[in-house]
Structure 1
C-alpha cells in the first residue's frame, strides 16, 4: 500500500513537472517575457508617463511604511522561529528580507484597489495613446485633441471591473510556505503567482475592445503560456522591496506595449485579408 502511494505520488509530481516544463518552454518561445523589460525602457524614455507615478508616490510611501512597521512588530519573531529551522543562523537576515517582500506585496494589493487604481489606468491608456492606439482608448474614455500622451486623457467612460481583494491576499499567503522548500519551492511560488498575475495584465485592453467574458476566457486559455511568461517576469520585478511600486508602473507600460503590438498585428491581418475578400466577391459576381 505504501509503495503504491509512493509510486502514485511520483507519477503526479512527474506529470505536473512535465506540464510546467512544457508551459515554460512555450512561454520562452513566445518572447512575451521581454515586455516587462521593454516597459522599463519605454517608461524611462518617455517622461510624460512619469506623471501618474509622481502623483501617488508620497501617499504610497506612507502606506508602505505603516504596513512595514506593523509586519516587523507583529510577525518578525513568529516567522524568525520558523525560518530558523530552515536557514539556521541566516534566519535573522532571511526573515527580514521575507518581511520586506511581504510588506511590499500587501501594500501593492491594498493600494491597487484605491490609491494606484487611477494612476495605473492612466499609465496604461497613456501608453496606448503614445503608441498611436488612440482609437482603442477612445472606446473607454474621452480624449483631448492636444497635449502629450497623459495630457490628452480625459474622463474615463469605462473603468476596469477587476479589483484586488482579500482573496488575492489569502492566495498569496497560501503559496508563501512554498518558499521554505529550497529552489524548487521558490520557483513554484513565482510561477503560480506569475500565472495569476499574467491573467490580469490585459483586463483594461479587453474592456476597451468590448470583449465578452467568454471571449476573454477563450483568449487567455489559448495564450496561457505567453501570459504566464509575462506574469512571471512581472512578479519577480514586483517582488523587489521598495522598488515594487515603480515596477508596477513599468509592468503596466509593458502590458500596454504588448496590447499595442496585438492591435497592430490585428490591423495588419485585417488589411491583408480585405483585398482577398474583395477579389472573392468579384469572382462570385
Structure 2
C-alpha cells in the first residue's frame, strides 16, 4: 500500500516533467522561428508601401461604422450583467476584467461579420499584393491573373477561387467555450489568447496554402512541423486584432505580415525544407525536361 502511494506521486512528477520539457522545447522552437515578429513587420511594411493601402481604403468607412456599432451595442447590453457576475468571482478586478471580456466579445462578433461580409476580398488582395511587392509573381499567378505594371495591387486580376476560411460554426462554438477563461484574473485571459493564437496562425496562411496548391494532408503536415512558429505568430496577431475599432487595421497588417513570412519561406526554400506541393514540383520537373 505504501509502495503504491510512493509510485503515484513519482508518476505525476514524471508526467509533469515530460510536459514541462515539451512546453520548453516548443517555446524554444517558437523563439528560434522569430515568427512572432511578423505581425509587427507587417505594420511597418504596410506603412511604408502605400499601394497596399488601397484594399483597406475601399472598406474603411463601412468597417469602422460596423466596429463602432458592435462595440457600443455590446457595452450597452452586456456590460452591466457581466460585471455583476464577475464581481462575485474576482471582486477587486471585476471592472477591468469585464471591460476586457466585453471587448473580446465585441471583437469576435465584429471579426465574424466583417471578414464574412465586408473585407474578405480586400484581405486576399492585400496578401497577394504583398507577395507581388516581394517579387513572388509566379506564386500568385497559380491562382489568379496578374497584369503588367509597377503597382502590386493594381496588377491583381481575376481570382480563380476564394481561399480565406470563413468563421465556421465549430470555430465560433470553440471561441465561446473558451470565453469563460476570462473569468480567471490575468492567467485566464493569457490562456484564452494563447488558445486563440494557436488557431489563428495557420488560418493566416490559408491563402498561401492555396497558392502552393497543397492538399489537405500536405497542409496538415506543413502546419504540424511549424506548430510552435504558427502559435508564436498567432498570439501577438490575436492581441492586435482585439483592439476595438483599430482591430480592422491590424487585420490588414497581420495579413501583410503573414504574406511577408510566406515570401521569406519561399526565398529560403532552396536552402531549407521544400515547401512546394508535389504537383507544383512535378510541373517544374516536366518543364525542365521539355526545354
- Indicate whether 1:22 and 2:25 are aligned: yes
Residues 12-55 of structure 1: CA distance to partner in whole angstroms, max 9, x if unpaired? 77765554343222111211111111111100000110111111
Return the offset for 1:108. 0.9
2:82 is matched with: 79
Query: For residues 79-128 of structure 1, what are the alpha-carbon distances to aligned partners after superposition, in whole Å with 9 as ceiling and x for unaligned?
Result: 11122124425533442343123212220122111211001000000000
Query: Residue 91 of structure 1 corresponds to which residue in structure 2?
Result: 94
- Residue 113 of structure 1 aligns to a residue in which SS? helix
In the aligned structure 1, how far is the partner of 2:181 from the partner of 2:248?
A: 24
Distance 1:176 1:21, change over 3 A: farther
2:166 maps to 1:180: no
**Greater shift after overlay, 9-18 or 219-228?**
9-18
Verify: 1:218 aligned to 2:185, yes or no: no
Q: Distance between the aligned counterparts of 2:8 and 2:272, measured in 1?
A: 52
Counterpart residue number, 2:144: 141
Contact persistence 2:143–2:159 (CA under 8 A): yes
2:71 alignment counterpart: 68
Give the conservation status (yes or no) of the 8 Å contact 1:109–1:168.
no
Structure 1 stretch 113-122 or stretch 169-178: which is displaced more? 169-178
Task: Determine if contact 1:110/1:164 at 8 Å carries over to the other structure.
Answer: no
* Superposition deviation, residue 7 in structure 1: 9.4
RMSD: 2.6
SS for the counterpart of 2:152 is: coil
Indicate how the Cα distance of structure 1 residues 189 and 93 shifts in structure 2: closer, same or farther if over 3 A, else same. Answer: closer
Are the structure 2 counterparts of residues 216 and 79 from structure 1 closer, same or farther at C-alpha, using a change threshold of 3 Å?
A: same
SS at the partner of 1:40? helix
2:262 is paired with a residue whose SS is helix
Matches of 1:8 and 1:75, distance apart in 2: 45
Residue 44 of structure 2: which of 41, 44, 51 is its match? 41
Q: Identify which range, 223-232 or 120-129, moves more after superposition.
A: 223-232
Q: How does 1:233-252 map to 2 (within 5 A)?
A: 233-252=236-255
Taking a change above 3 Å as real, the CA distance of residues 44 and 167 of structure 1, as seen in their structure-2 partners, is same
Corresponding residue pairs, total = 270
* Corresponding residue to 2:196 among 190, 193, 197: 193
For 2:265, the equivalent position in structure 1 comes to 262
Give, in whole Å, the separation in 2 of the partners of 1:77 and 1:137.
Answer: 49
1:103 aligned residue: 106
Residue ranges of structure 1 left out of the alignment (5+ in a row) = 271-285
2:209 paired residue number: 206
| CA 1:167–1:250: 2 relative to 1, 3 Å | same
Query: Would the alpha carbon gap of residues 39 and 76 (structure 1) be closer, same or farther in structure 2, given more than 3 Å must change?
Result: same
In 2, the alpha carbon distance for the partners of 1:174 and 1:204 equals 27
Q: Report matched runs for 1:50-69 at 5 Å.
A: 50-69=53-72
Q: Which moved more, 1:215-224 or 1:164-173?
A: 164-173
1:157-184, CA deviations, whole angstroms, 9 ceiling, x for partnerless residues?
1210521123322222211111222333
* Match among 168, 172, 183 for residue 169 of structure 1: 172
Per-residue Cα deviation, 1:125-150 (whole angstroms, up to 9, x for no partner): 00000000011001111111114111
